[in-house]
Copies of this chain bind each other. A is one copy, B any other.
Amino acid sequence: MTSAGHTDVREPISEDHPTCRLRDILDRVGDKWSVLVMDLLGSGPKRYSELQRSVDGISQRMLTLTLRSLERDGLVDRTVTPTSPPRVDYTLTEVGQTLSGQVRALIQWADDHREYVARSRLRYDAT
């Protein structure tokens, strides 16, 4: 589109290619902590400390960054109860739940093909 002279080779993927504009969504799904947190929130609202205890190995820093990011994207709601000490609850939004569903489908795929991938790797590594 930008220049002439192409034959039948696909256009290079650039900024306005659909796949690229979806990068941030894919990053989200690929993100270790986001997936784990969304998975936990899928079973109901959780407090900050609850998440920290449940997501094994997550640092305070990463939990906060992950929640902020999910909140920014409208996937998670943050509810502050200004008691003392303060209480903060996190919930999946409706849209967050639909993404969570997609992730679950992906997890299903992985489950269905775990053996296959494992065997492929063994075979490949034997070379």
Q: Which residues of A contact B (CB under 8 A)?
A: 9-14, 18-19, 21-32, 35-36, 39-40, 43, 50, 53-56, 71-74, 95, 98-99, 102, 105-107, 109-111, 113-114, 116-117, 119-121, 124-125
Contact = CB atoms under 8 A, between A and B. Distances in A.
A72 B124 CA distance: 6
Contact of A53 (B9, B14, B121): B9
Given A19-B35, A30-B27, A72-B125, A12 B110 contact: no
A61 to B, nearest CB: 18
Contact of A73 (B24, B71, B117): B117
A29 to B, nearest CB: 6
Given A30-B26, A31-B30, A106-B25, A111 B13 contact: no
B72 A121 contact: yes
B95 A116 contact: yes
Contact of A110 (B22, B30, B105): B22
B110 A25 contact: yes
Given A12-B53, A25-B117, 11 more contacts: A9-B53, A10-B40, A12-B55, A18-B111, A26-B35, A26-B110, A72-B124, A73-B117, A74-B120, A74-B124, A95-B113
